[in-house]
Amino acid sequence: MDVILESCASYEEAERQLPQHLKRYEGLFWKNEKVWVKPNMLSARSPEEGVTTHPTIVRGVLRFLLDLGVKPVVSDSPGVGNVRKVAVACGISQVCQELAVPLIEMEEFVEKDGDVFKQLRLGDLIDRVDAVVNLPKLKTHGQMVLTMGVKNTFGCVLGLNKPAYHLRAKDYHLFADLLVDVHQLVKPVLTVMDGIDGMEGNGPSNGQKKRLGLLASCKNAYALDHAVAMRLHVSPDKVYTLARAKARGLIPEYKIHGNWRNSVKMPDTVGLTEIVKMPLWLQELTHHWARVPVFNTPKCIQCKICERHCPANAITVDKQHIDYKKCIRCYVCHELCPEDALMLKRRLWKAGGR
């Protein structure tokens, strides 16, 4: 399996590099094939914020597919807001209009069984396309450590179902298994990663943007994610999706093409003293020092996005209160807060939510 890790200094350069970069994948597609192009459209953030897949990457991939006679559509199920509003904010809607590519809002779901989790609710678009092209953004992630190709396909799950899945898989390893299940069901034929501007620290939306200078791709997202983690000097065993993929025998042998290397500051939630590696039953036995969300009240605009999306119903915005007996430390609140008004602080915590 070939993994391409190409250095790319800017999005202007990416525009020039993409046609040559993608040429090697021409044989994967055929004329009139319907392809779902799946960027990271986490929330309504501008391209400059480094949260969502940059429109330049989306444009380059769509042009490549259109030139092959493929019929692409673009869709995602954002964590907050509907896909049309999010696509306008992150510049992807404008690209779709420019190239006359449909932007699809998914409302219906289809249930599919994964190897570990049954009846996973994916957007019904999955049954209306011939193939998926996955366009992740390279970022740190408070819960999963890094978000890359495998994590990006979780956006194929309809938004309203996502909090329920966090509750269904409270243990981080189990949640990673769920992500791997979803990825196995979506099975993208190609993953093209936007790692030009990535994110470090407390990602995936409230960390610090960092110019990582990477344009990467592979037919296999497990191989791609593994190679990127290695070249970021992050042990793949620390990245939950990669640890579970390895345990399930899903990471193929691969060869890296390209000399790109870089580093990222890890999220505060990933530290030597963190207890996330403990199995959930052990976490439930006693209290531990752990990073939990804490309101930064002066920054909070009381939008209640965190309260609405908290899978454990642990948040009461009016009282600026989080019930740590219920909190499962999924960090969804931190991820979705548009104002970075939730800090991740160490508190004495015991696994709850039951």
Q: By CB under 6 A, name the one of 178, 256, 342, 344 that touches ligand SF4.
A: 342
* 284 CB-near residues (< 8 Å, 6+ apart): 350, 351, 352, 354
- Residue 120's Cβ-count burial label (10 Å; 0-12, 13-18, 19+) is buried
For residue 252, whether the previous peptide bond is cis, meaning omega lies within 30 degrees of 0, is: no
305 binds ligand SF4 (CB under 6 A): yes
Q: By CB under 6 A, name the one of 178, 227, 328, 344 that touches ligand SF4.
A: 328
Q: By CB under 6 A, name the one of 35, 182, 329, 344 that touches ligand SF4.
A: 329
105 binds ligand SF4 (CB under 6 A): no
CB of 37 closer than 8 Å to CB of 191: no
Minimum CB–partner distance for residue 309 and ligand SF4 (Å): 7
Measured in whole angstroms, the distance separating CA 199 from the mean position of its chain's CA atoms is 12
Q: Which stretch binds ligand SF4 (CB under 6 A): 59-67, 234-242, 243-251, 295-303?
A: 295-303
Q: By CB under 6 A, name the one of 25, 165, 175, 331 that touches ligand SF4.
A: 331
Minimum CB–partner distance for residue 289 and ligand SF4 (Å): 16
330 binds ligand SF4 (CB under 6 A): yes
Q: Which of 134, 145, 272 is nearest to 207 (CA)?
A: 145
Of 189 and 278, which has the nearer Cβ to ligand SF4?
278
293 binds ligand SF4 (CB under 6 A): yes
Of 157 and 332, which has the nearer Cβ to ligand SF4?
332
Residue by residue, DSSP assigns 114-160 as: -SSS-SEEEEGGGGT-SEEEEE-EEEEETTTEEE-HHHHGGGGB-GG
Residues that bind ligand SF4 (CB under 6 A): 293, 300-306, 310-312, 314-315, 317, 322, 327-333, 337, 339, 341-342
